[in-house]
A and B are shown apart, each in its own frame.
Chain A
Amino acid sequence: MELPAKGLFIVLASVASLGILGLDGYPVLVEVDVSNGLPAFDLVGLPSAAVRESRERVRSAIRNSGFDFPLQRITVNLAPADLRKDGPAYDLPIALGILAATGQIPVDRLAASFWTGELSLDGRIRGISGALAMAETVKKEAVRTNCSLSLVVPLENAEEAALIDGIKVFGARNLTEVVAALRDDLPLTRFNSSWSERLQEYLKNNKTAGVNFEQVKGQESTKRALEIAAAGSHNLLLIGPPGAGKTMLIRCFPTILPSVTFDESLEITRIYSVAGLLPQGQPVIFERPFRSPHHTCTAVTLVGGGRIPRPGEVSLAQRGVLFLDELLEFNREVLEALRQPLEDGQITVSRLNTTLTFPCRFILVASMNPCPCGYYGDNLHECVCTPQQIKRYRQRLSGPLLDRFDIQVEVPRLTFDELATEAKGESSVIIRQRVEEARSRQRERLARRGLTNNAEMGSQELEEFCCLDSEGKNLLQMAFAQLGLSARAYNRILRLARTIADLAGASDIMASHVAEAIQYRVLDRPILE
């Protein structure tokens, strides 16, 4: 066999890397073959446009880092070849494959490691999305093959990937550094990160975070409704005239939600990481997300999808709040698409070659005007709508969707006097404490049913945990007969009464809890002329 020019041996190199499908990673083997022939650079294995462009980045990065780019026929295969590969994360493994195949780095040193990273033309390694999910996959592989594996990620993703224990995580700055490490000159930086330490650090830096209920004047009854929603994880609908402060109140809502647990934090971080939405310099998310998509959004933006399925707003609101401002301005079909995710806590997206499931457990908070003109029930401004118009307007919200809102309250506009008061509201910290206590009561009670909060209770749990005394029953009967409440309100009221009792620290639901619960069902009442 004739030796090629420059005296290099032509070999086949394979480098382990990772791809993302939905929210999960999967191992990808990058095989590089450099052979004689006209200079060419072919990339196979269902690469998307971003992956195909990787050829140009890899060529420049190798040259600009001072290595040789072979003027030969290069074939790169991304296995498994039947899954579509997306994103620039294959740049680094392809470059390493080429360097190994041309003998510039030792082939055997690449084994037992997974490599991922986007290259810039000068050889620096840029951050990628989905590092946490990739690290989880590596850990799974390590368990499966029962050997110690390591993962090399771009430096800026290292903290995030290191949240997963049981694997070694290294951060890489540029191609030169990686090659040096492989040639045994200088080792890469290894990362270990502790979630709780990072949390402490985060809390220290973000003490005065955003708005607080303390700053919201008046609106005590709406605040109370928000507190109940937070305590029982109930979906909430605020109905009020323009300028009543609905949006302001809702923006404060996340501040009274219980703080995230480790598992929840990982769940949220994973989704944000895959979606490429992690904030700069913050590799882990410690706060419940607050998503407020505009009402012009499509069903796919809201629930997820696309040719390469991506998580939608419902999944981005995981363990947090999805806020739909001006609910009735949303397309009806967009809203109807919310029904399944609300019920199941997850959304299944089917596309031509894949079926993916994204988690989506969130509290749905929405706001709407009470009538087409916006001033029905307003003290200062006259409403010009007829009862028919109001009815028709409200019917734009379908019954099944309306059913998902446990709490529906009206938010009146404040008068000048109320706005001018000096009185301070209760601070979010105190409210959150009550919410956490109520939540822990719920967890205790519902643990053996595999549930965590009152909003998840089904008819069986309602029967077991929401017994009423005769006074409470009496009151409910009256509400239906005298106030004309619609029958679908029954279970919702029971569920709310349970949460109100939990907030009060009561083990049994009392009539006063039921009485308060009925007040949060305004759309069940008939429209007055």
Chain B
Amino acid sequence: MYKKAYWIGLTRVNGLGPKRFQLLLKKFGDPETVWKAGENSLAEVLGAHSPVLKNLLECRDSLDLTKEITMLERNEVRVLTLADPEYPVRLLNIHDPPPVLYLRGSLPGPDAKTMAVVGSRRATPYGKAVAEQLGYDLTVNGFVVVSGLARGIDTCAHRGALKAKGPTIAVLGCGVDIVYPRENKGIFQEIIENGAIISEFPLGTPPEARNFPARNRIISGLSLGVVVVEAAEDGGALITADFALEQGRDVFAVPGPITSRYSRGTNRLIKEGARLIEGVADIIEEYPLVGGCLPSKPTEQLSWPVEEPLTNRIALSEEERVLVELLSLDPVAVDHLIAVSGLTASRVNSILMFLEKKGLVRQLPGRRYIRAGKISF
């Protein structure tokens, strides 16, 4: 750990990004030499009047490296540097890999088939259901889901992966000691136990907006490809897709209704040549040989509740069937169900409860209902 102290010290320098970090390494060889180098030789790389140089000089005077290390150890955070053999190989290949990765939990091996699943933070029930199902199906088929643990699609993708009892990697835009958004506390812990939480930012870095594009390049960099589930026209997920193209990764997009603003981004990606996927099979098809083994046949095929007459397998009364058939992944207000089905409010309320018990429908805020996905919630 102590060898890595200088690496850690350098990540604490304000304004010293991966590119300048690389330049310094090229000139001085290793971070220890950088840390101890004279001002003049540093100035040759950074420029004599650059604020970064000033920050570096200040930082190395004031920073207590031992304290940094005890802090990391206390938080059970591991540090991977570019020089580590464990550093993810795929990430090494991008043009500005993060010099240091802070890690909680454990990363899967270099052969792991990693697949990013990203999307809007404000997702529709459709997007959430698809993301969760994809996370689940990818994991069952031997993929490792990578995402950003943001609200909406990201969280659902992770959740799907965890439901399939597989590892998953969450890349944060803040320090790995900060749970953001806070409501993900539970899933955060689960990922540490079952996968990895990583970040290039030192401990205590707050989740600032400018960190997230940088985070996105790691998500795509770690992965074979990126699946965009839902994205608005100017969504952050599209940034991830751009990085993916830059880094030579595949881009997949889940189509959505042309009337939904959260499908504008994905539909545009498809128009621009991203592969349209309808299920995990479309992804598996692209990677017949990755990881050294050929998946003989997808172990589980995506099948949306809309397509599969799930209701055939569960005994339903006539009234229950009427209501189930009125529902889809598009939320329907309970008053609409009452009006269309011709049943009384009392009956509809009561039947919906029984259907919820059978796992066939889900109640959303605002007394709206959707058909429940294949995974029971």
* C-alpha spacing A87/B353, complex, angstroms: 58
Q: Please report which residues of chain B, range 141-160, place their CB below 8 angstroms from some CB of chain A when the two chains form the complex.
A: 151-152, 155
The answer to whether B349 and A418 have CB atoms under 8 Å apart is: no
In the complex formed, the residue of B with least CB distance to A471 is: B354
Answer whether A377 and B366 are a contact pair too, CB < 8 Å, given A218-B335, A220-B345, A221-B345: yes
The answer to whether A529 and B183 have CB atoms under 8 Å apart is: yes
Q: Please report which residues of chain A, range 389-424, place their CB below 8 angstroms from some CB of chain B when the two chains form the complex.
A: 409-412, 414-415, 418, 421, 423
Quote the shortest CB–CB distance from B98 to chain A (angstroms).
28
The answer to whether A475 and B353 have CB atoms under 8 Å apart is: yes
Answer whether A370 and B365 are a contact pair too, CB < 8 Å, given A379-B331, A412-B335: yes
Task: Say yes or no for B346: interface residue by CB 8 A criterion.
Answer: yes
Task: Say yes or no for A122: interface residue by CB 8 A criterion.
Answer: no
The answer to whether B122 and A382 have CB atoms under 8 Å apart is: yes
Q: Please report which residues of chain A, range 465-510, place their CB below 8 angstroms from some CB of chain B when the two chains form the complex.
A: 475, 478-479, 482-483, 500, 503-504
Task: Say yes or no for B253: interface residue by CB 8 A criterion.
Answer: no
The answer to whether A515 and B350 have CB atoms under 8 Å apart is: yes
The answer to whether B364 and A377 have CB atoms under 8 Å apart is: yes
B344-360 toward A: CB 8 Å interface, digit per residue (1/0)?
Answer: 11111111111011000
The answer to whether B363 and A525 have CB atoms under 8 Å apart is: yes
* C-alpha spacing A423/B347, complex, angstroms: 19
Answer whether A529 and B152 are a contact pair too, CB < 8 Å, given A221-B345, A370-B365, A519-B353: yes
B176-203 toward A: CB 8 Å interface, digit per residue (1/0)?
Answer: 0000011100000000000000000000
Quote the shortest CB–CB distance from B344 to chain A (angstroms).
8
Q: Which of B335, B366, B368 has the most CB of A within 10 A?
A: B366
Task: Say yes or no for B59: interface residue by CB 8 A criterion.
Answer: no
Task: Say yes or no for A518: interface residue by CB 8 A criterion.
Answer: yes
Answer whether A418 and B335 are a contact pair too, CB < 8 Å, given A377-B364, A529-B152: yes
Task: Say yes or no for A139: interface residue by CB 8 A criterion.
Answer: no
**Chain B interface residue count: which class?**
20 to 34
Quote the shortest CB–CB distance from B49 to chain A (angstroms).
43
* C-alpha spacing A464/B331, complex, angstroms: 40
Chain A count of residues within 8 A CB distance of the other chain? 46
The answer to whether A376 and B365 have CB atoms under 8 Å apart is: yes
The answer to whether B345 and A223 have CB atoms under 8 Å apart is: yes
In the complex formed, the residue of A with least CB distance to B181 is: A386
Task: Say yes or no for B321: interface residue by CB 8 A criterion.
Answer: no
Task: Say yes or no for A219: interface residue by CB 8 A criterion.
Answer: yes
Quote the shortest CB–CB distance from A182 to chain B (angstroms).
65
Q: Please report which residues of chain A, range 321-379, place their CB below 8 angstroms from some CB of chain B when the two chains form the complex.
A: 370, 376-379
Interface of B is mostly: helix
In the complex formed, the residue of A with least CB distance to B351 is: A515
Task: Say yes or no for A183: interface residue by CB 8 A criterion.
Answer: no
In the complex formed, the residue of B with least CB distance to A382 is: B122
* C-alpha spacing A518/B354, complex, angstroms: 10
* C-alpha spacing A528/B377, complex, angstroms: 12
The answer to whether A376 and B338 have CB atoms under 8 Å apart is: no
Which B residues lie within 8 Å of A412 (CB)?
333-335, 366-368
* C-alpha spacing A387/B152, complex, angstroms: 12
Answer whether A529 and B155 are a contact pair too, CB < 8 Å, given A378-B366, A412-B367: yes
Task: Say yes or no for A513: interface residue by CB 8 A criterion.
Answer: yes
A156-190 toward B: CB 8 Å interface, digit per residue (1/0)?
Answer: 00000000000000000000000000000000000
A415-435 toward B: CB 8 Å interface, digit per residue (1/0)?
Answer: 100100101000000000000
The answer to whether A370 and B366 have CB atoms under 8 Å apart is: yes
Which A residues lie within 8 Å of B356 (CB)?
482-483
Which A residues lie within 8 Å of B339 (CB)?
218, 220, 418, 421, 423
* C-alpha spacing A512/B353, complex, angstroms: 9
Which B residues lie within 8 Å of A377 (CB)?
364-368
Which residue of B333, B338, B346 is within 8 Å of A516 (Cβ)?
A: B346
Q: Which 4 A-B pairs have the closest CB atoms?
A: A377-B366, A377-B365, A515-B353, A224-B345
B-to-A contact residues, CB < 8 Å: 122, 151-152, 155, 181-183, 331, 333-336, 338-339, 344-354, 356-357, 363-368
Q: List 15 A-B contacts (CB under 8 A).
A: A220-B335, A370-B366, A377-B364, A386-B183, A412-B367, A414-B335, A475-B357, A479-B353, A503-B346, A504-B346, A511-B354, A512-B350, A515-B353, A529-B151, A529-B152
